[in-house]
Amino acid sequence: MTQEEAQVLALACLTKRCPNTSCRIREHEVLVGAFGWVFSIEATAEDMPTVQGHHAPRLVLVNRKSRQVVATTRAHSAVSFAQVYETLLARSVADARNWCLTGDDLAGSRVDLPGIAEEARRQGLEDISG
């Protein structure tokens, strides 16, 4: 996936999430990471700052391998947003490596850890891929 393809995907997902909002990627504020890109978003709408009960996202991240699109309305910097995502992504990969078909590894302290999706929501990340 190229950066241009990632921008098109990000804007398509933003349009679905906030149909009454005009979103534009700030070309000079793109962070390139090992996972993909973080785009800074400029949004305008008739009913700003909220659109259908949602604030327009400030940042959108596109994972170049999975094509996952993640947004945040929180005041993360692009760098901190990427760091939160990378931490959760690493945890997801580690959990996948420890996965067991029998479920025997579900016993013990791992059950007490918050789920990755729950932690993502707590950090202000929202998957808008779908």
Domain that holds residue 94: 3-127
Which of 33-47, 54-68, 111-125 has the least mean pLDDT? Answer: 111-125
Average pLDDT value over all residues in the chain: 82
User: Residue 43 — φ and ψ, nearest 5°?
Assistant: -125, 140
Q: Which amino acid is at 111?
A: V
* Three-state SS at 109: helix
Q: What is the arithmetic mean of pLDDT over 6-19?
A: 93
Would you say 73 and 124 are in contact if contact means Cβ atoms under 8 Å apart?
yes
Number of domains into which the chain is organized: 1
Selected residue with higher pLDDT from 71 and 104 = 71
pTM of the predicted model as reported, rounded to 2 decimal places: 0.79
What confidence category does residue 97 fall into, taking pLDDT thresholds of 50, 70 and 90?
Answer: low
